[in-house]
Structure 1
Amino acid sequence: MSSSHISNPGTTQIDSEHQHTIAFDDGPELELMVPMSDLDLDRYKKVKQESSHTVTEDHLDPNSEDIRKVRWKVDKRLIPMLSLLYLCSYLDRSNIGNTKVANLEEDLNLRPGVYNMALSIFFVGYIVGEIPANIMLKKMGPRKWITIVMLCWGSVSMSMAAVTNGAGLLVTRFFLGLAESGYAPGPVYIISLWYRRTEQALRVGIFFSAATIAGAFGGLVAYAIAHLHGLGGLRAWQWIFILEGLPTIIMALVTFFVLPNFPDTADFLTKEEKELNMQRLLIDAGPATETAFSWKEVWSVFKDWKVYLHTATNFLHSIAFSSLGLFIPSIIRGFDYDPIMTQIMTAPVYIIACIVTITMAFSSDRFSERGYHAAASEALATLGYFLLIMTRDSTTAAKYVSLVFCAAGVYSYIPIQLSWPSSNVGGHTKKGVAIAFVISFAQIGSIFGGQLYRADDAPKYTRGHTICCALLGINTLGNLAIKMLLRRENRRRDQLTTEQYNQECATGGHTDKHPGFRYFE
């Protein structure tokens, strides 16, 4: 019996011979089906039987009062922390853009191209560390692991104030990337373990919006710090590295005491709340219930076509994302603003991008849809870069509005794209490695992104804008293609005969390969 034959939400329908389905409402227009084999249903029943909390279909309704209370407690504990930590991470990696405006290149007497190389070498360290980092996060738990890596990258970030030449800048940027790679894929993985798939994009959007806040905050802080130039014998760019790296050290200590580990060990929930939360997550996972570490599932990531397609779209987008985040101050400086006003004018760009990012993420979760939302964000960014090219000789206002379109599209794409592969990979081990692989390999694009905006192309930067416009246009079509392929696979699984279904159950394991698992489109 295929899930396409079941349409009565809020009930459990059982075909005693073959397959079971638990279905429940998720808002007025969404119905989520979770097909289960006999073994899957037995595991679900066992959780219910072992629970001291009485579970009813009303309790499992994602909009019930009990679920909302538990979800809100998780939100309050998890999302603000992840957002603050990502703000620290993004601030420490991107403040080099503000230091450039504060005469970093001139004071270090950098040769042509060294600054751009410093931008790119950060992502080399990033790529090297991400997959091992998520494996360590799974083994050690988020609380200990993230505390360690934050202390590392905060220390490196502050030490950049001591560099005296290009070689020192390159070395510290590499180790900053290596240290930050320990955190980078972590928030997406953590959110994917704590929330149902229809709840993840908004949470990723909220924590990722910290990047846009960091951009706005960083520019304003850099403006204020610029007035410290000469204090203590330090230049303005040195104070930027010191004062923007210090919060990371402080937050590392807070993390150890506040950040929770995994849902089954949540000490901030009561026993009943923890059981209810685990039950709703188990139902959402459907057959993808693998939780133990497994090298078999690690290697299965590299045989999954979905992982490679998501990696390809992330790779193309990372070129534009990294270049924009690093060069917004330089692009705005090319609009004929003085250095101080440039720092101030970066803030509105990021604030608008933050609003659009959260709005798109909310819409994506509300309609349980990823592909069209991802394509819409890429299309908006493509339009923005096209307008930057066309308005390069126009008024400052026209160029500034075009840049706002770019930032809104580029940043709003990220939470949708990050939550999309995490929703379509089942099992803790496979999910963690897949997320790390998608993010880390995509950072190769960030290496190229650091080379797009060259000093000899200032102030119009037509070459960089043109490359980003073309890549994001291709990516718009790529996301639509992924959606169509996932839809085709879901329909294939819906049409399996009983014999075919049972055959795939035998080989699919408890990951997304199980024929009862349905992909998010």
Structure 2
Amino acid sequence: MDELEKPNPSVSEKESGSVLLPDETPLYNAHVDVSGVDEKKLIRKVDIALIPWLSLLYLLSFLDRSSIGNAKLYNLEGDLGMSDNQYLISLTVFFVVYAVFEVPSNIFLKWLRPSIWLSGLMLVWGIIMTAQGLVHNSGGLITARCFLGMLEAGLYPGVSYLLSCWYKRSEFGSRMAIFFSATTAAGAFGGLLAAAISSMDGIGGKPGWAWIFILEGLATIVAAVASFWIIQDFPDTAKFLSEAERTVIIRRLQADDQFSAAGEEFRWKYIRQSLLDWKTYVGMFIQCSSVMPHYTFLLFLPSIISQLGFKATAANLLTVPVYVFACIVTCVVGYLSDRCRRRGIFIIGFFCLGAAGYIILILSKSAALSYFAVYLATCGIFPIVANNTAWVSNNVEGAYKRSVSIGMVVGFANLNGIVSSNVYRQKDEPRYVLGHGLVLMYIGIGIISSTLYLFLARRENAKRERGERDEVIEGHSGGDEKNGTFVSVDEAKREKGDEWSGYRYML
């Protein structure tokens, strides 16, 4: 911890009293003694405070949105008098509003405290989820799904951004993988839960599928109320840390080229930077190439397995080991990509494994082979969603720019849930060639996009190594005026963010 605590004796001080490092970057809270802080224990403390609860919330989120796939097997459509098209519309409207509200939600999250914003969203969507079990027709279900999408929109991009404000770039992928693996737990637990709750059919005059919605909605309400006290805010205001611990967290982030870790005032410039950044748009295509298959998997896996010859409860139960496998793969890939400090090669490799799985699903006429292919298909879905979110976050500097970039990438990807909701049609049973073929097409786009991202990021790093992006710093020789002129290195970092010449993209 000595490096964090002791400023270089040769540096000077500004009138504000901030100690300046040799590169003219102020040392955060220079007056604070951090010699007594054990960094490894501190990170474990942060992990325990953040990851378990946020993962639980995401598990509840995915149970709430994907349980309609389980409920369908218990005569949801018949009881509500819905056609197959009306059922697909109820899936589609969720993703439309979900995608629209993700970027605004992330901006509000930055303005407000996460503990207030995220908890409030969850409380209202828990109420909507409970009400979804009380509907009597297709119109009621479609309306409930619409509001559910609007309110759930803030959780994934919001938590992704919140976690990125706590961890170094080489630590974020594994934490994101653990958080995202809650979706696999939701898939596994959802199948078990649906099978168990279906036995309540007829209690209170409600069918089994209605009790799935009601009980899961009530669980969300309880978690939302608790979240007002459990969800942690940003590092500079965290109440569960001492001042010395907060100082260590922020200094280690700044040392990792996260210059805005100590705080940043909103400027429209940061929004424009995100909108003009090539990484935002290439990241969108990578993310949608995994998210579209992800949603088809969650929404239709029970139906796909039921077409292999298994009845409703057996089909739900057979989804459990698939999701357990997906959870393991997601966490392992997140850990390895952090250790290797590489994300692109893992994303490309696992996209290829997923493609092999869907090719087998299209060609197979054997139930056993198709069930094996389902496991292979998970490799091209679950690890990539979390790893690409980490990749996008790792390569964007600036608190507001990162919040907008994550919101745009995740929002655009979730808009493809519209496609996911409409490609597995009843008339295509039992092999679902159209659905599997479109998923395979998306995976192909993902392979191309991630390869492009890797190439462009490596090329940009090389240009910075050669000095082609160097700025002019007043009082120092070198640099090119076309890259900007700044009073100090610190000003260049804060004004340019990840475009600063000393910033290196994670590959």
What TM-score results when the alignment is normalised by the length of structure 2? 0.90
Determine helix, strand or coil for the equivalent of 1:162.
coil
User: What are the equivalent positions in structure 2 for 1:376-395 lying under 5 Å apart?
Assistant: 376-391=349-364, 393-394=365-366
Using the TM superposition, give the Cα deviation of residue 426 of structure 1 relative to its aligned residue in structure 2, in angstroms.
0.4
Unaligned runs of 5+ in 1: 1-8, 17-37, 60-65
Equivalences, count = 479
Give the Cα–Cα distance (whole angstroms) in 2 for the partners of residues 462 and 441 of structure 1: 25
Mark the CA change 1:267 to 1:329 in structure 2 (over 3 Å): closer, same or farther.
same
Counterpart for residue 49 of structure 1: 30
Indicate which of 143, 157, 161 corresponds to 1:171.
Answer: 143
Q: Does 1:431 align with 2:402?
A: yes
Q: Does 1:313 align with 2:286?
A: yes
Give the Cα–Cα distance (whole angstroms) in 1 for the partners of residues 410 and 445 of structure 2: 19
Using the TM superposition, give the Cα deviation of residue 260 of structure 1 relative to its aligned residue in structure 2, in angstroms.
0.9
Counterpart for residue 347 of structure 2: 374
Counterpart for residue 511 of structure 1: 497
Using the TM superposition, give the Cα deviation of residue 49 of structure 1 relative to its aligned residue in structure 2, in angstroms.
2.3
Give the Cα–Cα distance (whole angstroms) in 2 for the partners of residues 377 and 157 of structure 1: 34
Between 1:82-91 and 1:373-382, the stretch displaced more is: 373-382
Counterpart for residue 437 of structure 2: 466
Using the TM superposition, give the Cα deviation of residue 39 of structure 1 relative to its aligned residue in structure 2, in angstroms.
8.3
The one-letter code sitting in structure 2 at the alignment partner of 1:266 is: A
Judge conservation of contact 2:173–2:386 (CA < 8 Å) in 1.
yes
When the two chains are superposed, the root-mean-square deviation of aligned CA atoms in Å is 2.2
Deviation readout 1:213-252 (Å, 9 max, x if unpaired):
0000000000001111011110011000011111111111
Between 1:480-489 and 1:462-471, the stretch displaced more is: 462-471
Give the Cα–Cα distance (whole angstroms) in 1 for the partners of residues 291 and 385 of structure 2: 9
Mark the CA change 1:356 to 1:108 in structure 2 (over 3 Å): closer, same or farther.
same
Counterpart for residue 327 of structure 2: 354
Judge conservation of contact 2:133–2:211 (CA < 8 Å) in 1.
yes
Judge conservation of contact 1:287–1:510 (CA < 8 Å) in 2.
no
Q: Does 1:122 align with 2:80?
A: no
Judge conservation of contact 2:258–2:398 (CA < 8 Å) in 1.
no
Judge conservation of contact 2:55–2:178 (CA < 8 Å) in 1.
yes
The one-letter code sitting in structure 1 at the alignment partner of 2:502 is: G
Give the Cα–Cα distance (whole angstroms) in 1 for the partners of residues 238 and 305 of structure 2: 46
Using the TM superposition, give the Cα deviation of residue 286 of structure 1 relative to its aligned residue in structure 2, in angstroms.
5.1
What TM-score results when the alignment is normalised by the length of structure 1? 0.88
Between 1:196-205 and 1:177-186, the stretch displaced more is: 177-186
Determine helix, strand or coil for the equivalent of 2:478.
helix
Q: Does 1:137 align with 2:101?
A: no
Using the TM superposition, give the Cα deviation of residue 112 of structure 1 relative to its aligned residue in structure 2, in angstroms.
3.2
Determine helix, strand or coil for the equivalent of 1:261.
coil
Give the Cα–Cα distance (whole angstroms) in 2 for the partners of residues 118 and 388 of structure 1: 26
Give the Cα–Cα distance (whole angstroms) in 2 for the partners of residues 405 and 467 of structure 1: 17
Give the Cα–Cα distance (whole angstroms) in 2 for the partners of residues 152 and 428 of structure 1: 27
Judge conservation of contact 2:253–2:259 (CA < 8 Å) in 1.
no
Deviation readout 1:268-295 (Å, 9 max, x if unpaired):
1122222111111111125556622222
Give the Cα–Cα distance (whole angstroms) in 2 for the partners of residues 382 and 68 of structure 1: 39
Give the Cα–Cα distance (whole angstroms) in 2 for the partners of residues 490 and 287 of structure 1: 18
Indicate which of 331, 334, 337 corresponds to 1:364.
Answer: 337
Q: Percent of aligned positions with the same letter in both sequences?
A: 37
Using the TM superposition, give the Cα deviation of residue 111 of structure 1 relative to its aligned residue in structure 2, in angstroms.
2.2
The one-letter code sitting in structure 2 at the alignment partner of 1:233 is: G
Using the TM superposition, give the Cα deviation of residue 167 of structure 1 relative to its aligned residue in structure 2, in angstroms.
1.3
Judge conservation of contact 2:98–2:415 (CA < 8 Å) in 1.
no
Give the Cα–Cα distance (whole angstroms) in 2 for the partners of residues 451 and 40 of structure 1: 58
The one-letter code sitting in structure 2 at the alignment partner of 1:512 is: D
The one-letter code sitting in structure 2 at the alignment partner of 1:404 is: Y
* Poorly superposed stretches of 4+, deviation over 6 Å: none
Using the TM superposition, give the Cα deviation of residue 442 of structure 1 relative to its aligned residue in structure 2, in angstroms.
1.4
Between 1:166-175 and 1:497-506, the stretch displaced more is: 497-506
Judge conservation of contact 2:80–2:138 (CA < 8 Å) in 1.
yes
